Amino acid sequence: MLGMAAPLSANAIFDRALLRRRFLRAARSGFEDFLLQAVIDGVCERLTLVMRPFPTAADIGTPSPELARRLAGEGRVVTRMAPIAAALGGCGLRLVGDEEALPFQEASFDLAVSALNLQSVNDLPGALIQIRRALKADGLFLGCLLGGRTLHELRSALAVAETEVSGGTSPRVAPFADVRDMGGLLQRAGFALPVADSETTIVRYRDLFALMADLRAMGATNALVARRRLLARRALFHRAAEIYAERFSDADGRIRATFDLVFISGWAPHESQQKPLRPGSAQMRLADALGGAKPPETQ
């Protein structure tokens, strides 16, 4: 079964076909997975805190088979979907599909996971709705995507350098969702008990060019629809490297690159889940529940 890529709309942020080509290039030349491995560890660690078996699971677009392998190693039946066939190693049922048009029937899985993939969909609320529909009642979604502070140093250095060299700026680093928005997006998609939290990972590099080499090896170079099509002048990147070193380097001269990892979770609704009380129906003051004293009476 093949998932069809969603057509490029007038409001698209990412060129999804270009993203797949970039990922294919990275997969063939040796995918750089140090960040992905850290995220997979985080997803699995969070899953161990949930005392449920989850017999069937779907891995939605994680760029390597490692997460699916670890889920299957705990006795689950795993279906792994990836954007290109070259990424489909590992175990379980494997299929090519697109996160914007999931090839799953409703209520198919007890668990859905996704690591470092959903930040590049054009319609994140729509993708979350499809994931929720693919879950059985009381099924869990657990994922991680890049958050708003990711590569803010690179974004700043490139913007300043391009203003100096070319007299203007063009989009070069993708916009990312803020952790403060993710709980609302999960709720909007119909998930119950939504949770979003973030972790910051700082990676140090020799210079901007070493960072850009790693991004290329992750398949994470610029695929914005609004990107400038003309080749950038070499002077732009040399100036950006200077600005980066001036503003974001440590005492030993190595530069810092921030990766903001936003972990999200939510449940497909079920009647057994906790429900919020109706407004005005509480039997206890919040201060009393938290052990606080009554406020002093006014004179």
pLDDT the model gives residue 167: 67
Segment 45-52 long-range contacts (CB within 8 Å, at least 24 positions apart):
46/142, 46/263, 46/265, 47/111, 47/113, 47/142, 50/140, 52/110, 52/140
Domains defined for the chain, CATH in brackets:
16-269 (3.40.50.150)
Mean pLDDT throughout 10-16?
Answer: 78
Backbone angles phi, psi at 137, to 5 degrees: -55, 135
Residue with structure tokens 């879950």? 135
Look at 11-15, 40-44, 140-144 and tell me which has the smallest mean pLDDT. Answer: 11-15
pLDDT in tens, 138-194: 999 999 999 989 999 999 999 999 899 876 666 656 667 788 889 999 999 999 999
- pLDDT(65) > 60: yes
Identify which of 108, 101, 259 has the alpha carbon closest to the alpha carbon of residue 174.
259
Structure token pair of residue 53: 């078996």
pLDDT the model gives residue 90: 65
Look at 102-111, 179-188, 250-259, 287-296 and tell me which has the smallest mean pLDDT. Answer: 287-296
Backbone angles phi, psi at 60, to 5 degrees: -100, 95
pLDDT the model gives residue 6: 47
pLDDT the model gives residue 22: 84
What is the pairing mode between strands 192-205 and 255-267? antiparallel
Which is higher by pLDDT, 135 or 227? 135
Identify which of 127, 129, 140 has the alpha carbon closest to the alpha carbon of residue 101.
127
pLDDT above 90 coverage of the chain, percent: 56
pTM for the whole thing?
0.82
- Residue 87: which pLDDT band, with cuts at 50, 70 and 90? low
